[in-house]
Amino acid sequence: MFSSLARQQWVRSSLPVLVAAVVIMTAPSLVTGSFWQRVIILALFNVVLAMSLNLVIGYTGLLALGHGAFLGIGAYTSAVLTTTYEWAFWAAFFVAGITAAACGLLLAVITLRLRGHYLAIATLGFAVIVYQVLMNWIDVTRGPLGIPGIPTPPNIPLGNGTELDFGLPAAHIYLAGAFAIVCYVLIRRIVNSPMGDALRAVREDEISAKSLGIRTFAWKCFAFTVAAFAAGLTGSLYAGYMGILEPSAFVLTVSFTLLAMVIVGGAGTLVGPVIGALVLTIVPEALREVGPEYRMILYGLALTLVVLFFPQGLVGIGAALRSRFRSSSRSKPDEPPSDSTGTGFAKEVPVDAS
Amino acid sequence: MTLLEVTNVTKKFGGVTAIDEVSFRAEAGRVLALIGPNGAGKSTMFNVISGNYAPTSGTLRFDDRDVTGANSVAMSRLGVSRTFQKIRLFKALSVMDNVVIGAQSSAPVAPWRFFFGGGAVRAAAAETRKHALEMLDLVGLGDVGDVRADTLSYGQQRMLEIARALATKPRLLLIDEPAAGLNQAEADGLVRRLRLIRDQGITLMLVEHNMDLVMDIAEDIVVMNFGKKIAQGAPREIQENPDVIRAYLGEEAMA
Amino acid sequence: MTLLQLVLNGLVQGSLYVIVALGLTLIFGVLVKINFAHAEFLMLAAFAGVVSIDTFNLSYGVSVLVATLVGASLGVAIEFGIFRPLRKRRTDELRPLVATVGVSILLQNLALLYFGPNPRQYQSPYMQKTIELGELYLSYQRAIVFVVAVAAICALFVFLRRTAPGRAMRAVSQDSDAASLMGINVSRIVLMTFVIGSALAGLGGGLLGPMLVIEPTVGANIIVLSFAIVVIGGFGNVNGTVIAGLLVGIIESLVTGYLEAGLSSLAIFGVLLLTLAVRPTGLIAERVEQNV
């Protein structure tokens, strides 16, 4: 029935998902310490945030500096609905995503006629505004006091009499992991289809894209809205996991760390932000013994060095190493990079041997 | 049949008049060349026709429809496609992807439907790729589809831009200085390929400085100077037109 | 406080913002690049001022000079370390911004590591004494800040309009290719712009320091305001920046005085988004038209 090519494609697209699923299923039994279980959950949230930001920065080429704001909007929407209004968690979850998406669309419509630096600053300004609203809209958000007592998601019966108990970190690992995998698959669907082509066309040359009949403004709004939606949903899960929210969790620094994850991992590639998010969440925690300041120093250093010396991020370094290994072992001339889609707003020719 | 009708079009930038009350027609299925010294307003005229600029005054009719002020997206969807004087490829994408993106805009399946997959969508995707490959073959780039667009030679990049524009299945194709930077062999190949394109029933309009090429391929010529149309006619008439000769000699005397 | 008092305080604060934002806008005018680490220069310069007073017993005046020099040196460092290498590689326009976001995070946290999270007091003998002008009160420090800031702004205007290097700088900011053809050494002008712009940030650190406490995050609070000013004033527009800076200072002072401190940045960034939504579109759309 299937040609070998189709089978190969199926393996290539399903294998990473299966591996990720197995890793997530076994993670709670392999990593039992509560500290590291927490790190895993936060890393999975960051994976989704970085992947969604990458849709905007890497694929559409729009430098948005305020992605953390959508996380905050989603988290607070969900928290307020489940505490003050006693909504069911999953209803609040979807409303959180939709609220963030609506804010994303609004921001997009206001600012997306701007280009480059103006857009970067507009999104920065948006993040500041959101933070200030969280701090000052005390009737709703309780301001700096934060919102305590946010309920976890309801336990999920597993059929054989047991339940997925969200009182335990393991359940949050499963939920965050499943959510990350679903997001990965859906984002892959977008970027590997003509939708992704349209986004890349916007990134590469807007004037050309328009002359080919691509409605660039609509596509930019699309990227912004989808990214905000994903971030809003993540915020809801974050609120459900943390149980307490404070505005300080959504300062500008959060947006910058997400930017670092995308760029360090490799903007404009599917796995880049995943790797970036995992590395930049887990490695700094391993360094926590040395001193908490080193965490952000690592972010700053990694971001600066990657932009200066490895414009295609960790993914690019990996690809370069692989092709060097291949060419030296088989003495074949360097092949063009396997990811012919380029790498985010890096419009440079990849560094090659010549 | 008249495909494009430009009537009294004027385009001003601030106080500068780039095009001044220009009118002409492009007949369907023919090759029309827009010539004139540098700064005559030819590229501006292209930008007006393609919807990149809105004319300050005057009207544009395409296929018996008033399209004055339509933007470039709308013009593309109506069937006007173009290349750029300064090449504007999707540099970091593969040659094939450049053309596929062009082909997608003329595909019957909207991009968002690919999110849900299905047989119709898969068939459309295959059709799009096939069409893109045909366009690449037409311009002689069929065997370099997988390389990055910016690794092509200058002449190949110009041909790729043409293939990308063709992939939208235009009825009118605007080609801005296709021979700029090409060597003689490449220019000859270009003429041959432009004829192939015309033979498919696509109306061609080109801005070009290479007069041998223009006289070789153009069936109608519009001459502009200082934003005004100074002559129009068949190649032979244009070559003997005293106003045209003066315009060109004047430019050479200045240079 | 009376309205007039609030406006006066706003003007003083605004004059400081102007200095910091002018540095950003000069660099943007010449390079069309943003140095996101600009306000970290202010923070480090302020720390340098604190250290020169606390450790080396220098006078306040000298410490301001030290702060200015530290700012200028950081400008040189970032031009050679980040902007010039990226320019040579002809990367796209936003990459330096991303790199300097990294530098900003790095500097802020290195300062945190070295100076610790506890705020330091920038000693100035002029904080305690006040001038009374009828109903209005003004500390000597604020008076000095205002006078020095205005002097620096005037000096910059004279420099840009009346001196050869200043005119060269304006030429580069209008059209760097043409300037280069006219024999202007563009890369020297860029370096000069970084020195002047960053020295202004350093000066801002020395002046602002005594009016608040110095901690590693002080730059982060100021950078977003500076961006707002630069955008409201029109990127690269020196006159606009001066007006916008004073305006932001006054808005901040009025909102804080009559409503609540937290609302002031809401108001300012509301103005920012409004400006972005209404004004630069025309300007930018025109530029696109000419690029085709």
In the prediction, which pLDDT does C79 show?
A: 94
In the prediction, which pLDDT does A329 show?
A: 55
Write down the domain spans for chain A. 13-251
Nearest to C98 among A115, A124, A263 (CB): A263
C88 CB within 8 Å of a chain A CB: no
The answer to whether the CB of C43 falls within 8 A of the CB of C108 is yes
Judged by CB atoms closer than 8 Å, whether chains meet at C289 and B84 is answered as no
Q: Residue A286 CB: number of other CB atoms within 10 A?
A: 10
User: Cα distance from C289 to chain B (closest Cα, Å)?
Assistant: 7
Which among C170, C167, C169, C163 is positioned nearest to C187, based on CA atoms?
Answer: C169
pLDDT digits (tens, 9 = 90+) for A31-60: 888 889 999 999 999 999 999 999 999 999
- Given a cut of 90, whether residue C125 has pLDDT beyond it is no
C28 CB within 8 Å of a chain A CB: yes
DSSP label of C57 = -
Q: What is the mean pLDDT of the segment spanning A101-124?
A: 86
- For the record, the structure tokens of C9 come out as 């305080």
Nearest to B84 among C289, C290, C292 (CB): C292
How many whole angstroms separate alpha carbon B13 and alpha carbon B41? 12
Nearest to A293 among C94, C112, C266 (CB): C112
- pLDDT band with cut points at 50, 70 and 90 for residue C292: very low
Bridge partners of residue B233, in order along the sequence: B221
DSSP, collapsed to helix, strand or coil, labels residue B223 as strand
Question: How many CB pairs (< 8 A) connect A and C?
Answer: 153
DSSP, collapsed to helix, strand or coil, labels residue A283 as helix
Residue of C nearest to A345 (CA): C92
Query: Distances in Å between the alpha carbon of A125 and those of A227, B204, C267?
Result: 18, 48, 11
Judged by CB atoms closer than 8 Å, whether chains meet at A214 and B105 is answered as yes
pLDDT digits (tens, 9 = 90+) for B79-96: 999 999 999 999 999 999
Judged by CB atoms closer than 8 Å, whether chains meet at A297 and C263 is answered as no
Q: Residue A160 CB: number of other CB atoms within 10 A?
A: 6
Q: What is the mean pLDDT of the segment spanning C163-192?
A: 86
- For the record, the structure tokens of A6 come out as 């189709």
Q: Where are the alpha helices (DSSP H) in chain B?
A: 42-49, 72-78, 95-104, 119-138, 154-166, 184-199, 211-217, 235-240, 242-254
In the prediction, which pLDDT does A335 show?
A: 37
The answer to whether the CB of C100 falls within 8 A of the CB of C34 is yes
pLDDT digits (tens, 9 = 90+) for B127-176: 999 999 999 999 999 999 999 999 999 989 999 999 999 999 999 999 99
Map tokens 């003998």 to a residue: C125
Chain B residues within 8 A of A209 when measuring between CB atoms = 101
Judged by CB atoms closer than 8 Å, whether chains meet at C224 and A126 is answered as no
pLDDT digits (tens, 9 = 90+) for A192-221: 999 999 999 999 999 999 999 999 999 999
Q: What is the per-residue DSSP string for A21-65?
A: HHHHHHHHHH---HHHHHHHHHHHHHHHHHHHHHIIIIIT-----
Mean pLDDT of all residues belonging to chain A:
86
How many whole angstroms separate alpha carbon C208 and alpha carbon C45? 11
**Chain B: partners with 3+ C-beta pairs within 8 Å:** A, C
- Given a cut of 50, whether residue A339 has pLDDT beyond it is no
- Given a cut of 60, whether residue C291 has pLDDT beyond it is no
Chain B residues within 8 A of C289 when measuring between CB atoms = 13, 47, 52-53
Q: Residue C185 CB: number of other CB atoms within 10 A?
A: 13
User: Cα distance from C145 to chain A (closest Cα, Å)?
Assistant: 27
- Given a cut of 90, whether residue A136 has pLDDT beyond it is no
Judged by CB atoms closer than 8 Å, whether chains meet at B13 and C292 is answered as no
Query: Half-sphere exposure of residue C138, counting CA atoms within 13 Å on the CB side?
Result: 23
The answer to whether the CB of B96 falls within 8 A of the CB of B136 is yes
DSSP, collapsed to helix, strand or coil, labels residue B146 as coil
- More confident: C90 or A184: A184
pLDDT digits (tens, 9 = 90+) for C203-256: 999 998 888 888 888 888 788 888 888 888 877 788 888 988 999 999 989 988
Residue of B nearest to A335 (CA): B147
User: Cα distance from A337 to chain B (closest Cα, Å)?
Assistant: 9
The answer to whether the CB of B163 falls within 8 A of the CB of B138 is yes
The predicted complex's ipTM stands at 0.90
User: Cα distance from A343 to chain C (closest Cα, Å)?
Assistant: 12
In the prediction, which pLDDT does A2 show?
A: 54
Write down the domain spans for chain C. 14-217
User: Cα distance from A112 to chain C (closest Cα, Å)?
Assistant: 9
In the prediction, which pLDDT does A353 show?
A: 29
Q: What is the per-residue DSSP string for C64-131?
A: HHHHHHHHHHHHHHHIIIIIHHHHHTT--TTHHHHHHHHHHHHHHHHHHHHH-SS-EE---TTSS-EE
Judged by CB atoms closer than 8 Å, whether chains meet at C97 and A120 is answered as yes
In the prediction, which pLDDT does A332 show?
A: 38
- pLDDT band with cut points at 50, 70 and 90 for residue C280: low
Residue of B nearest to C286 (CA): B13
CA dihedral A8→A14→A20→A23, nearest 10 degrees, is: -80
C-alpha angle with apex B38: B35 to B42, nearest 5 degrees? 45
DSSP, collapsed to helix, strand or coil, labels residue A331 as coil
In the prediction, which pLDDT does A3 show?
A: 64
In the prediction, which pLDDT does C288 show?
A: 37
How many whole angstroms separate alpha carbon C147 and alpha carbon C153? 10
Which among A27, A220, A26, A242 is positioned nearest to A111, based on CA atoms?
Answer: A220
- Given a cut of 60, whether residue C283 has pLDDT beyond it is no
Express as a percent the part of chain C with pLDDT over 70.
95
Q: What is the mean pLDDT of the segment spanning B191-206?
A: 93
Residue of B nearest to A195 (CA): B111
Bridge partners of residue B222, in order along the sequence: B34, B232
> What is the distance, to the nearest Å, from the Cα of residue C240 to the centroid of all Cα atoms in its chain?
14
How many whole angstroms separate alpha carbon C121 and alpha carbon C129? 17
Mean pLDDT of all residues belonging to chain C:
85
Q: Which of A326-335, B209-218, C150-159, C272-281 is predicted least confidently?
A: A326-335
In the prediction, which pLDDT does C287 show?
A: 38
Give, rounded to a whole angstrom, the gap between the first and last alpha carbons of chain A. Answer: 44
Q: What is the mean pLDDT of the segment spanning A163-188?
A: 92
- pLDDT band with cut points at 50, 70 and 90 for residue C276: confident
Mean pLDDT of all residues belonging to chain B:
90
Q: What is the mean pLDDT of the segment spanning A125-131?
A: 90
